[in-house]
Structure 1
C-alpha cells in the first residue's frame, strides 16, 4: 500500500536517478518524484503535495546557497527538507540546521549510506554530521533567524524569493496588513529597518560564498 510521496530535487542526472532508484527499491511503499530544478520542484509541490520528505540539492542551476531551501520551505511548509551537497563546510551545515533543515547529506557518501540516512529522516530523526564552531557573525545571524516564528520564517522565505507584499499575502493566505506586521517584526529581529537591509543581512545565508 502506498504510504505517501518523497520528492528528490537535484540537477545532476546521475545522482538524481541513482538515489531515486535506490529509495524506490528500499521503500516501495513510497512514490519517489524527481525534479531537476527548483522551479520543477515547486511545480511538483503545487500539484502533488503533501510530501513525506524532500531531499534537496544545495545548489542547482536556478538557485544559489540557501535560496532553494527558503523557496521549498515556502512551497511545502511542514515537509521535512534534507539538503544534499558536495559542499560540507561547517558554517554551511550549521546554517542549514539553524534554518530548519531536517538533515544535511554529503554527496561523497556511498549510496547505501545515503539511503540509510533517508530511512532515519523518514522516521522523523534529524541527520547532521558533527560540525566545528561556527564563525561568530554566522552564529549571530542564525540566532536571529531562529527567533523568527514559523509564520515570520515563511514571510521571510517569500521575501527572499523576491515576492512583493501583495503576492506574499496571496500565497500564504494572509492579509497585506498581516504581512506588513510580520515584516515589521522580522526587521526588528534582524536589526534592520527595511527590505533591502533585510536582504543584505541574510545574504551570507542565501549564498555563503557571495563574499569569497
Structure 2
C-alpha cells in the first residue's frame, strides 16, 4: 500500500492517533488521513482517489446513528468501510453488517489485533464479532435488503440520504430512468410502494439501537 491512503474518521485525536499507528503497522508506507466528522470524511473521499480503506467512528457528532455510515458508503465507491466504536450495545454490529460495512471494530482491541483485522479487510474479507444476535426488528430489516443488487443498494443508500432522483442519477452516472427502474425493483423487494414506505422498512437499520451514544 505504499503511497496509498487510509481515512480515519474519529472526533477524538488520541483515538485517531492510535488507529493511525495500527494502520501504519499493518500497511508500512501508507498515509493515514484523520478527520473528525462525517462531513469531513465525505469531502475527503470526494477529493482524493487513492483512499483504500475507511475507519468510521459510529458516534461522530453528525452521524445520526447509521445515517453517517450510509452517507460515507454512498460516496465510498466500493472502498471498504469499518465501523469503529467503543460501544457494545446490541444491534450495532448487526446493523453495520446489514448496511454494507466491511467490518465492526471495537476500540478496546489491542493495536496488533486491530492491525491484523485491517489487513484481512483490505484483502477482501469482512470482520464482525461472532455469534451476532440481532433484535427482531433489525433481523427483519436486514432480510428486506439482503436481496438487493449492488446498484439497487446504492440507490437505497442515496434515498436514505435524502437525495432526489436527479441527484442520484448524477452521483451514480446513470439516467433518471435507470434510477426509477432501480427504485421500482427496490420497492418490490422491500414490499412497499413509495419512498417513504421504503425508508420506514429499513428504519431499524438507520436508528441508534439504544438511546444515547457511546463512541
Normalising to structure 1: TM-score of the pair? 0.91
Q: Structure 1: 5+ residue runs without aligned partners?
A: none
Match of 2:118 in 1: 118
Tell me how far 1:3 sits from its aligned partner: 4.7
How far apart are the structure 1 equivalents of 2:132 and 2:19? Answer: 28
Quote the Cα distance in structure 1 between the aligned partners of 2:211 and 2:89.
Answer: 15
Do the aligned residues in 1 keep the contact of 2:26 with 2:118 (CA within 8 Å)? no
Counterpart residue number, 1:185: 185
1:169 corresponds to which residue?
Answer: 169
Q: Is the 8 A contact 1:204 1:210 kept in 2?
A: no
Deviations 1:6-53 (A, max 9, x none): 111111222112211342244232121111111111111111123221
Instruction: Find the counterpart in structure 2 of residue 57 from structure 1.
Output: 57
CA positional deviation for 1:151: 0.6
1:161 to partner: Cα distance: 0.9
- Within 1, Cα distance between the matches of 2:85 and 2:131? 15
Is the Cα–Cα contact under 8 Å of residues 90 and 131 in structure 1 kept in the other structure?
no
C-alpha RMSD of the superposition? 2.0
Distance 2:111 2:85 in 1: 13
Aligned to 2:40: 40
Q: Which has the higher contact order (CA 8 A, sep 6+)?
A: 2
Shift in alpha-carbon separation, 1:152–1:118, aligned structure 2, 3 A: same
Counterpart contact for 1:50–1:76, Cα < 8 Å: no
1:209 is the counterpart of 2:209? yes
Structure 1 distance, partners of 2:198, 2:190, is 7
Counterpart in the other structure of 2:133: 133
Distance 2:133 2:41 in 1: 33
Residue pair 2:92, 2:209 contacting (<8 A) in 1 also: no
CA distance in 1, matches of 2:132, 2:56: 23
CA distance in 1, matches of 2:211, 2:3: 44
Question: Aligned equivalents of 1:119 and 1:14: distance in 2?
Answer: 22
